Amino acid sequence: MSNKHVVITGPTSGIGLSAARELAGRGAQLTLLCRNPDKANALAEGIVADGGHAPDQVPMDMSRLDSVRAAGAAVLELGRPVDVLLNNAGLINTRRVETEDGFEETLAVNHFAPFLLTGLLLPAILDAAPGARIVNVASDAHSFVKGMDFDDMQAQQRYKTFPVYGRSKLANILFTRSLAARLQGRGVTVNCLHPGAVSTNIGKQNGGLTADVIHWLLKPFFRNADKGAETSVYLCTSDEVANISGAYFQDCKRIPAKPWAEDDAAAQRLWEYTEECVGFRYPE
């Protein structure tokens, strides 16, 4: 990974932080896309103190499409090919929250934002081909649902925490399949992963008893963030997956996703819906 340019979202906590440190330790030049500048500065200082390249820092609020667009433009202005894009950031809400753009926040942050960011950065990713990689952090939470529920995509009729989160993670896998097919033969691989149940701060932004109870119930099953980041790092770096695209991984191994995550008709419908919502069309 020496001098490879890696763009990563959500790098200041949890598995994103572990992945960022590991990739920097392997010689990668990181661009950190994050909302909190103080945390970004602390991470950058730590990377330099450990002997890594000083990362670039780009502010981005993934709940706002204008912020994602500005971040994408800022990365392109760096003038460097993007060897790896690691779409890591995500959230889970215990209640329905609507973004400034009028979308349900879980879907907006977990799916709309990486869809738009990836599309905006695609010229720089293609400049790094052959060998460029896009890695999407999905989740086994896609097993919480049996499909995208296109009749209530914005959870306006019913909001339940785990199904809404699971649907956003299903969207990550369907997006991976669609994009891999579109980029076939162009020197870019697209894969996604389940990091395992990881003890991070996801969901803590909600506060209150419900968030604390969720973490208390799940804590016995959590692995640490370094362990959770292993598959992300593997997909970003390993020669073993250099020619694999459109696949789903867990514990550094390719595994089958649920059948509804391999539904190409649903993937196409989701793609068209997302393009309409975010106001961006991928180049042919």
Express each pLDDT in 206-246 by its tens digit.
444 455 555 554 554 455 777 889 999 999 999 999 999 99
Q: What are 132-151's pLDDT values in tens digits? A: 999 999 999 999 999 999 99
Which one of 159, 165, 234, 273 is the catalytic residue?
A: 165
- All domains in the chain, ordered by first residue: 5-278 (3.40.50.720)
pTM above 0.85, yes or no: yes
Kindly state the average pLDDT of the residues 26-45: 97
Q: Are 234 and 249 in contact (CB under 8 A)?
A: yes
Q: How do beta strands 248-250 and 253-254 pair?
A: antiparallel
User: Is 273 annotated in the active site?
Assistant: no
Query: Which class for 159: exposed (0-12), middle (13-18), buried (19 or more C-beta within 10 A)?
Result: middle
